[in-house]
Each structure stands twice: as C-alpha cells, then as structure tokens.
Structure 1
C-alpha cells in the first residue's frame, strides 16, 4: 500500500509541476497561436538565475528576482522579435521560437558547463513519514504551491480584464481587435506570465530528490509539451488534466520499472509521448480541446 501511495504522490507532485509548464504553452498558444519551443530555455534561465543568486540574496528573494527576470526575457522575445513579423504567419513565428531556444540554451549551457547547481530551496532533503511512506517535503511544497499559483491564474482568466481579453482573442482575433482589444499587449503579457510559470517550475523540477540544476534541465519542459497537447492546446483545464495524467504515468513507469523491463530500460522517457499518441488516436483535439468550426 505504501508503495502505491508513494507512486501516486510522486505522480501528482510531478504532474502539478508539469502543469505550470504546460499552462505556459497553452497561454501563449491561446494569445497568439504560436507553439513556443523556447519554453525549455526559459525554464533553464529561471533555474540558473535562482541558483546563482540565492547565496547572496537568499532563496525567496532570488526566486522572486528570477521569476521577474524570466518573465521580462519572455516578454522581450515577443516584443522585440515576434511582433516585427506578420502575426498571421504562426508557422514562421513558431520556427523563430526554435531559434530563440537554441541561442538561449547554448549560452546557458556554456555558463553551467558540467556543474550541478543547487537552488538553495529551504526544504532540502527533509522528509516526513506517514503510515510507512516517506514523503519528501519538496513534493508537498510543489503540490501546494502549484495549486495556489494555478488557482490564481485561473482566477485571472475568469475575473480580470486581461483574462477576458485573452479569451476573446482566442475565440476570434479579428473580432477582438475590432472591439478595441489591444492584441499586442495581451500577447506580450501572456509571454511574461508563461516565462514566470516556467521559472517557478524549475525550482521543483531540480529540488530533492532530483540532484540539482544541470545543463540538460531545460529538456524536462519537453515532457510537459505532451501534457498540453493531450489536454487540448486551447484549454487550460485540459493542460492541468493532461499534466496529471503524464505525471502519474511517468511515476508508474518508474515505480514498476522491473515489471516493465520487456518494454526496454528507457521506456520511461517515451511513456509521456506514448500516452499522448494513444489519447489523440481517440480524441484528436485532446481531452478537453474544442473542435475547430469551419465554414463552407
């Protein structure tokens, strides 16, 4: 029973962090129709800034500054680069995010090198025991913080002028523009929010029991990409549901690795994509995605 509980808790904790990343994918896609492949490098940037600043500023101040800086860098990507191109050429904008990712990731990889960086989180290796199960405090913190942040984001979608404008732009950009909604501002704010969420997610992705921040940490964001696709790229609740499904699947594969040895030792790395493909075969628009209306 304790093993099953441990696996479920690890899956929910991992899924809650993936949800922060997947929500960033969805927010940008809703605002601009762009698949942001630079998300992994933004996540690595947030983690790197926290790692290099926490000794001088303390963990919480370093994290706040890293979240702010990553949000500004993400907003600058849209403001300086993407805004100069035709907003309707989403395929070109998507390709441009790949270039941004390569440039930013290359610089961060050079700075990190072969080091393993600690972010100085206050939970460290602390654990608690419940009914024979050992629970790391980082797992509990990741679930609580993710719930609070995701709840705040959903409240912003529902109750703020920005959220209403974002939903209107996602439905029909031309109609939203005609109604006076400033699409450029909505899109830039969406990029800023996605960057902030990625920086926050980095803390829990590299905290105990993970060894720390390394140059390949940004690749973890790619595991959240199937979660966003799985839930439906236009559905924030779908991103949350897809993230939990991916997180629990990854935890199950890791927990029962011996029983799944026939599938290969690296099956855990492809399990999220296998789940995504199986679900999309049944629901091509994702779990909560909406079918696109086509007029003829």
Structure 2
C-alpha cells in the first residue's frame, strides 16, 4: 500500500509538470490553430539557460531570465511563421513549419549540451520529506506547489484579463473577434510567449531529482505532454489538466509495477501515455472534454 501511495504521489507531481507543458500546447492551439511541435525544443532552451546562468545569477535569477528569454523566443517563432490566418491551410502550414524550427533549435542545443548532464542549481537537491508512510522528494512537492500557482495564474489570465477575454473570443469566432476590434496578431503572440514561459518553468522540474539532470534528450519528454493535451481536447485548458494527471499517474504506476507487467515489454512506461491516448480516442475522438463540432444540415 505504501508503494502505491509513493507512486501515486509521484505520478501526480509528474502530471502537474506535464500540465504546464500541455497548457502550452492548448494555449497556442486556441490562439492560432497551430500544433507547436517546437515546444519541446523551447523547453530544452529554458532548461539550458537556467543551467548556464545559475552560477552568476543564482537559481531564482537564472530561472527568471530563462523564462523571459524562452517566452521572447516563442513569440519570435510566432512572428517568423505568421500568416494572416485567414487563407485555407495557413495553420496547417505553420504546424509543419514548427517541425523545422524544432530541428534547428534542437540541433543547436544538442551541440551545446553534448553528452553532459547539466545541473540547474535548484534549491531542493536530492532532499526528501516523509509524510506519514510516504517518502517523497522535495522537488516533487515543489513541482506540485509551483505548478498549482502557475496554473492558477494562467486560468486567472483567461478569466479576468482583457487578453484572456480576447483569446476566448478569438477561439470561438476569429472573424467576429476581428470585426470587434480585437488585435488578433497581438493575442496570438502573447499566447506563444505564455506557452514558452510555461515550458521553461517545466524544464526545471523535469531535470530535478530524481532525474539525473538536464540532458540533450530532456526536450523529448515534452512529447509525453502532447497525449495529455489531446486526451483533454486540444481546445480545453481544463481538459489538459485532467489529461496530464491521467498520463502522469499512468506512467508512474506502469514504471513502478514494471516487473508485474513484463509481458508488455521492457520500457512500456515510455509508451504507456500514447497507449492511453489511443484507447481514450477510440471511445472519445474529440478527447475527454472536447466539444463536438456543429454540422450544418
């Protein structure tokens, strides 16, 4: 029972970090209709900047600089790839173009990181805390707390700010929002910047203990958050949270009980998120919280 509680808490912490990444996918998709496949490279960029800057700036200063730089880079990617968003196929073209951006960023960051394991200078280190029968890494407790604050702030932006209202209006009807005077280009750019900032924040916890550190493959972990976004429905921020919790718990439990699940093959925990995504989509093609499109007859 204790092992199950350990795995469940670890899975929830992992799911909270995945939620930061999945929200980035959802925010960009709602704002521009683009699946940003460069999101993993942006995450790796944020982690790399934190790693190289924490010496001179300290952890807090390095994280703030990395979040800002990654947000600006994401906004620059949006500007670089932007069409006017009205002609057919524009969003699809930009989605494909993000693959090229991902290749360029990942290649350069991989060259810089090489075979090294970079530490981010986080204050939690390898410390653990005992909560009754459960022992949990302080980094995972920090992940839960920081993710909760960050996600709460994002939802507050959605609900309580003019930008959030503009984003929701544009997601519902782009043409009507433009006619009402909403500056769609600005709304989209800010959405990309916010997604980049969340990715940089997630990188800290993906590289923290019990992970060995930041390596060149860390950005690929962001792809595990993609099933979480799809599970919840690509246009549903709330769905991204539910999908992330499900993916995090699934991965942690499958990894913890790998011996009992050996018939599924070694390393099944790595593909378990995608297996869950396929199973759910067979029943709910639009995702757990996705809305069915209206059809005119």
Q: TM-score range by the shorter chain?
A: over 0.9
SS at match of 1:287: coil
Structure 2 CA distance for aligned equivalents of residues 87 and 101 of structure 1:
24
Aligned counterpart, 1:6: 6
Aligned counterpart, 1:132: 133
Q: TM-score normalised to the size of structure 1?
A: 0.98
SS at match of 2:136: strand
Q: Given that residues 232 and 288 in structure 1 are in contact (C-alpha distance below 8 angstroms), is that contact kept between their aligned partners in structure 2?
A: yes
Structure 2 CA distance for aligned equivalents of residues 132 and 227 of structure 1:
30
Q: Identify if the C-alpha distance between structure 1 residues 176 and 86 changes in structure 2 by more than 3 Å, giving closer, same or farther.
A: closer
SS at match of 2:129: strand
Structure 2 CA distance for aligned equivalents of residues 238 and 87 of structure 1:
29
Computed over aligned residues only, the root mean square deviation of the Cα atoms, in angstroms, reads: 1.1
Aligned counterpart, 1:175: 176
Aligned counterpart, 1:108: 109
Task: Give CA-to-partner distance per residue, 1:164-221, whole Å, 9 cap, x none.
Answer: 0000111110111111111100000000000000000000001000000000000000
Structure 1 CA distance for aligned equivalents of residues 232 and 161 of structure 2:
24
Q: TM-score normalised to the size of structure 2?
A: 0.98
Give ranges in structure 1 of 5+ residues lacking alignment.
none
Task: Give CA-to-partner distance per residue, 1:83-129, whole Å, 9 cap, x none.
Answer: 47766411101000000000000000000000000000000011111
Aligned counterpart, 1:75: 75
SS at match of 1:58: helix
SS at match of 2:234: coil
Q: How many residues align?
A: 296
1:293 to partner: Cα distance: 1.3
1:132 to partner: Cα distance: 3.2
Structure 1 CA distance for aligned equivalents of residues 16 and 104 of structure 2:
29
Give ranges in structure 2 of 5+ residues lacking alignment.
none
SS at match of 1:13: helix
Structure 1 CA distance for aligned equivalents of residues 74 and 54 of structure 2:
22
Q: How does 1:9-88 map to 2 (within 5 A)?
A: 9-83=9-83, 88=88
Q: How does 1:205-244 map to 2 (within 5 A)?
A: 205-244=206-245
Task: Give CA-to-partner distance per residue, 1:195-251, whole Å, 9 cap, x none.
Answer: 000000000001000000000000000000000000000000000000000000000
Task: Give CA-to-partner distance per residue, 1:55-106, whole Å, 9 cap, x none.
Answer: 1100000000000000000000011332477664111010000000000000
Q: Given that residues 42 and 200 in structure 2 are in contact (C-alpha distance below 8 angstroms), is that contact kept between their aligned partners in structure 1?
A: yes
Q: Given that residues 83 and 184 in structure 1 are in contact (C-alpha distance below 8 angstroms), is that contact kept between their aligned partners in structure 2?
A: no
Q: How does 1:249-288 map to 2 (within 5 A)?
A: 249-288=250-289
Q: Given that residues 85 and 91 in structure 2 are in contact (C-alpha distance below 8 angstroms), is that contact kept between their aligned partners in structure 1?
A: no
Aligned counterpart, 2:94: 93
Question: Which segment is superposed worse, 123-132 or 220-229?
Answer: 123-132
Structure 2 CA distance for aligned equivalents of residues 152 and 84 of structure 1:
29
Structure 2 CA distance for aligned equivalents of residues 202 and 153 of structure 1:
18
Q: Given that residues 50 and 63 in structure 1 are in contact (C-alpha distance below 8 angstroms), is that contact kept between their aligned partners in structure 2?
A: yes
